């Protein structure tokens, strides 16, 4: 059984590829599991060649040449998508960060997922310079 960290985020060892990312979504608790799997499927559909990895207990999506463009992390009341070059997205995702270029999209249980807007952000983000740890 996967340990859940504060906020219900699964503790998943650092790894590359689909296996650790799928383990993350399988371990999400409650309503976050189907929402997380929906987000994961949308990312894979929108950016089919995205590289997959888990870093710091969060699924990361990137491109071979540009680095990571988005990550997912579970908190108590929401799932957070982090766009590493989010200030370059049009329109910008609503959540601000202390990191200058980063923007957040927080997804809540009782709010519908705007798949059309999320798809546009993913398409844009995948073409921008990403974050390289």
Q: How far apart are CA 72 and CA 16, in angstroms?
A: 15
Q: How far apart are CA 22 and CA 18, in angstroms?
A: 6
Predicted TM-score (pTM) of the model is 0.95
> Which residues contact residue 38 at a Cβ distance below 8 angstroms, ignoring those fewer than 6 apart?
113
- Sequence length of the chain is 133
Q: Of 46, 44, 115, 35, which Cα lies nearest the Cα of 75?
A: 35
Q: What is the pLDDT of residues 61-118, one digit of tens each?
A: 999 888 999 999 999 999 999 999 999 999 999 999 999 999 999 999 999 999 999 9
- CATH number, span 6-125: 3.90.1150.200
**Where do the H-state alpha helices sit in the chain?**
18-27, 32-46, 115-125
Place of tokens 């996967």: 2
Contact 42, 117 (CB under 8 A): no
Give the start-to-end residue ranges of the domains of the chain.
Answer: 6-125
Q: What is the pLDDT of residues 6-61, one digit of tens each?
A: 889 999 999 999 999 999 999 999 999 999 999 999 999 999 999 999 999 999 99
Whether 1 has a pLDDT exceeding 80, the answer reads no
For residues 71-93, one letter each, b for 16 or more C-beta atoms within 10 angstroms of the residue's C-beta and e for the rest, the string is bbbbeeebbbbbbbbbeebeeeb
């Amino acid at each position: 059984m996967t340990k859940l960290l504060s906020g219900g985020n699964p503790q998943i060892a650092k790894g590359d590829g689909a296996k650790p990312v799928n383990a993350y979504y399988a371990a999400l608790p409650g309503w976050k599991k189907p929402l997380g799997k929906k987000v994961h499927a949308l990312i894979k559909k929108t950016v089919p060649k995205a590289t997959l990895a888990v870093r710091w207990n969060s699924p990361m999506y990137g491109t071979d040449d540009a680095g990571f463009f988005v990550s997912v992390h579970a908190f108590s009341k929401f799932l957070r998508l982090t766009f590493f070059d989010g200030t370059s997205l049009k329109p910008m995702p609503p959540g601000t960060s202390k990191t200058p270029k980063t923007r957040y999209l927080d997804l809540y249980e009782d709010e519908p997922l705007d798949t059309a807007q999320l798809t546009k952000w993913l398409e844009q983000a995948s073409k921008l310079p990403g974050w390289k740890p």
